A and B are shown apart, each in its own frame.
Chain A
Amino acid sequence: MSGSEKNVGRRIAHFEALAAKEMRQAERASERTPDRDEWVIDKLGAKIPQRAMSFAAVRAQFESPPAPAGPARTAPNDPLRLPTSSELAKQLSKGRDTALQGPVVSVLAGELDALRGRIAALTEEVPLQRLDAERATLERKVEREISAFEEIVTRLTDQIETIKPDPVADESDSEEERKKNEERAQRACQRAQEHAGKVARLALDSAAKFRDGFAKAIEDVKADPAYAAVQAHLSLGAALKAKRCGVSFADCEFDRYNDTPLNRARSVENAGQGKVNSVAKLVHADGEERFFKPLTEKDTSTARAPQFMKINKEAPRYGSRNIASGIAAQLLGSSVIPKTCYAVHDGEVGLLMDKAPGQQPVRKNPAKGEQSYDRIKPWTGTLSKRAAAELHEQLNELEWCDLLAGQADRNPFNYFVDVQGDRAKVTGIDNDFACGSNMLEFQSGPGYMKPGYSRLDPGASFAIGLPKLIDKRMLERLKNAQLETFLADLDGLLSPDEMKAMETRFEQVKAHALELESQKLVVTNWEAWRTPPPGRRLTASQFLAAPENKGGSFFERDFKGFFIEDGLLPPDNAPAQQAKTL
Chain B
Amino acid sequence: MSVTAPPPGASPDPVGALARAGHRYGGAGLRLPPVPPALAAELIEQDEWQFGTQEVDLTDRAGFLADARAPQALAQVGFGHVGHGVNSWFLCYRLIEGPLAVFVRLGFGGVYDPDPALSLRGANAVTAAVGRLLDAAAAGGRFAPAQRLVVVLDEVAGSGWEVAGPQGRAWENSDDPLAAAAAFLAGAAR
Q: Residues of B contacting A362 with CB < 8 Å?
A: 107, 155-156
CB-CB under 8 A for A302 and B81, given A163-B3, A273-B109: no
Q: Residues of B contacting A276 with CB < 8 Å?
A: 81, 83, 86, 89, 109-111
Q: Does A5 contact B (CB under 8 A)?
A: no
Q: Does A458 contact B (CB under 8 A)?
A: yes
- Known pairs A95-B55, A274-B89, A416-B112 / 17 extra A-B pairs, C-beta < 8 Å: A164-B2, A184-B5, A185-B5, A272-B113, A273-B108, A275-B48, A276-B89, A277-B109, A279-B86, A293-B85, A302-B57, A303-B57, A356-B112, A363-B114, A372-B122, A374-B175, A429-B86
Give the residue of A94, A104, A167 whose beta carbon is less than 8 angstroms from that of B55.
A94
Give the residue of B28, B49, B85, B91 whose beta carbon is less than 8 angstroms from that of A430.
B85
In the bound complex, do residue A275 and residue B81 qualify as a contact, i.e. CB atoms below 8 Å apart? yes
Q: Residues of B contacting A432 with CB < 8 Å?
A: 84-85, 88
User: Would you give the 0/1 interface string for B85-119, flagging 1 where the beta carbon is closer than 8 Å to chain A?
Assistant: 11111110000000000000001111111111011
User: Would you give the 0/1 interface string for A444-479, flagging 1 where the beta carbon is closer than 8 Å to chain B?
Assistant: 000010000000001101100000000000000000
Bound CA span A370–B114, Å: 13
Q: Does B72 contact A (CB under 8 A)?
A: no
Q: Does B147 contact A (CB under 8 A)?
A: no
Interchain pairs with CB closer than 8 A, number: 194
A66-85 interface with B by 8 A CB criterion: none
Bound CA span A476–B81, Å: 43
- Report the minimum CB–CB distance from A161 to chain B (whole Å): 10
Q: Does B56 contact A (CB under 8 A)?
A: yes
Give the residue of B46, B88, B111, B125 whose beta carbon is less than 8 angstroms from that of A411.
B88
CB nearest neighbor in A for B13: A97
Interface locus among A124-132, A136-144, A187-195, A214-222: A187-195
In the bound complex, do residue B89 and residue A371 qualify as a contact, i.e. CB atoms below 8 Å apart? no
- Report the minimum CB–CB distance from B90 to chain A (whole Å): 8
A165-193 interface with B by 8 A CB criterion: 165-168, 181, 184-185, 187-189, 192
Q: Residues of A contacting B3 with CB < 8 Å?
A: 102-103, 163-166, 185, 188-189, 192
CB nearest neighbor in B for A368: B175
Q: Does B30 contact A (CB under 8 A)?
A: yes
In the bound complex, do residue A414 and residue B85 qualify as a contact, i.e. CB atoms below 8 Å apart? yes
In the bound complex, do residue B111 and residue A271 qualify as a contact, i.e. CB atoms below 8 Å apart? yes
Q: Does A412 contact B (CB under 8 A)?
A: yes
CB-CB under 8 A for A188 and B107, given A300-B47, A411-B156: no
In the bound complex, do residue B84 and residue A409 qualify as a contact, i.e. CB atoms below 8 Å apart? yes
Q: Residues of B contacting A505 with CB < 8 Å?
A: none
Interface locus among B59-67, B134-142, B162-170: B59-67
CB-CB under 8 A for A275 and B17, given A304-B57, A370-B122, A414-B87: no
Bound CA span A94–B2, Å: 24
In the bound complex, do residue A302 and residue B46 qualify as a contact, i.e. CB atoms below 8 Å apart? yes
In the bound complex, do residue B88 and residue A413 qualify as a contact, i.e. CB atoms below 8 Å apart? yes
Q: Does B150 contact A (CB under 8 A)?
A: no
Bound CA span A412–B110, Å: 13
Bound CA span A304–B61, Å: 12
In the bound complex, do residue A302 and residue B55 qualify as a contact, i.e. CB atoms below 8 Å apart? yes
Q: Does A518 contact B (CB under 8 A)?
A: no
Bound CA span A84–B82, Å: 21
CB-CB under 8 A for A414 and B88, given A98-B12, A370-B125, A374-B175: yes
User: Would you give the 0/1 interface string for A212-238, flagging 1 where the beta carbon is closer than 8 Å to chain B?
Assistant: 000000000000000000000000000
Q: Residues of A contacting B55 with CB < 8 Å?
A: 94-95, 302
Bound CA span A359–B3, Å: 58
Q: Does A51 contact B (CB under 8 A)?
A: no
In the bound complex, do residue A429 and residue B156 qualify as a contact, i.e. CB atoms below 8 Å apart? no
In the bound complex, do residue B5 and residue A291 qualify as a contact, i.e. CB atoms below 8 Å apart? no
Q: How many residues of B contact A (CB 8 A)?
A: 64
Interface centre among B45, B83, B114 (most CB of A within 10 A): B83
Q: Does A443 contact B (CB under 8 A)?
A: no
Q: Residues of A contacting B4 with CB < 8 Å?
A: 166, 168, 185, 188
Q: Does A301 contact B (CB under 8 A)?
A: yes
Q: Does B157 contact A (CB under 8 A)?
A: yes
Q: Does A318 contact B (CB under 8 A)?
A: yes
Can you list 22 A-B pairs, Cβ within 8 angstroms, ordered by A?
A95-B45, A162-B1, A165-B3, A187-B5, A188-B3, A188-B4, A189-B3, A272-B109, A273-B120, A274-B28, A274-B108, A275-B83, A301-B82, A303-B57, A360-B112, A362-B155, A370-B125, A372-B175, A413-B155, A459-B57, A459-B62, A462-B156
Q: Does A62 contact B (CB under 8 A)?
A: no
Q: Does B159 contact A (CB under 8 A)?
A: yes
In the bound complex, do residue A371 and residue B109 qualify as a contact, i.e. CB atoms below 8 Å apart? no
Bound CA span A468–B151, Å: 33
* 7 closest residue pairs by CB, A with B: A430-B85, A166-B2, A273-B109, A188-B5, A274-B109, A97-B13, A459-B60
In the bound complex, do residue B176 and residue A371 qualify as a contact, i.e. CB atoms below 8 Å apart? yes
In the bound complex, do residue B89 and residue A163 qualify as a contact, i.e. CB atoms below 8 Å apart? no
In the bound complex, do residue B86 and residue A165 qualify as a contact, i.e. CB atoms below 8 Å apart? no
CB-CB under 8 A for A373 and B159, given A275-B81, A276-B110, A279-B86: yes
Q: Does B21 contact A (CB under 8 A)?
A: no
Q: Does B146 contact A (CB under 8 A)?
A: no
Q: Does A421 contact B (CB under 8 A)?
A: no
Bound CA span A271–B85, Å: 13
Q: Residues of B contacting A372 with CB < 8 Å?
A: 122, 175
CB-CB under 8 A for A273 and B116, given A162-B1, A187-B5, A189-B3: yes
Q: Residues of A contacting B5 with CB < 8 Å?
A: 165, 167-168, 181, 184-185, 187-188
In the bound complex, do residue A281 and residue B49 qualify as a contact, i.e. CB atoms below 8 Å apart? no
User: Would you give the 0/1 interface string for A318-336, flagging 1 where the beta carbon is closer than 8 Å to chain B?
Assistant: 1000000000000000000
Q: Does A249 contact B (CB under 8 A)?
A: no
Q: Residues of B contacting A184 with CB < 8 Å?
A: 5
- Report the minimum CB–CB distance from B19 to chain A (whole Å): 12
Interface centre among B86, B121, B156 (most CB of A within 10 A): B86
- Report the minimum CB–CB distance from B97 to chain A (whole Å): 20
In the bound complex, do residue B118 and residue A95 qualify as a contact, i.e. CB atoms below 8 Å apart? no
In the bound complex, do residue B2 and residue A274 qualify as a contact, i.e. CB atoms below 8 Å apart? no
